[in-house]
Chain A
Amino acid sequence: MNSVVCIAQVPDTEARIKIAAGGRRIDEAGLKFIVSPYDEFALEEAIRVKEAKGGDVTVISFGPDRAQQALRECLARGATQALHIKGEVADADSLGIAKVLAAAIKSTPHDLVFFGKQGVGTDNSLVGPMVAELLGYPQVNVVTHLEVGDGKATAHREIEGAEEIIEAALPAVITAQKGLNEPRYASLKGIMAAKKITIETKSVADLGLQDSDIFNQRVTTVAIELPPEKKGGRKIDGADPAAAAKEILKYIREEAKVL
Chain B
Amino acid sequence: MGAFVVFRQEEPGGAFVHCGSVDAPDMELACQYARDIFSRREDAQRLWVAPQEAIREVADGDLLRPALDRTYRLGRGYRVTVEKRRRIKARIAARAEAEQGEAV
Task: State yes or no: do A and B come from one complex.
Answer: no
A residues near B (Cβ < 8 Å) are none
B residues near A (Cβ < 8 Å) are none
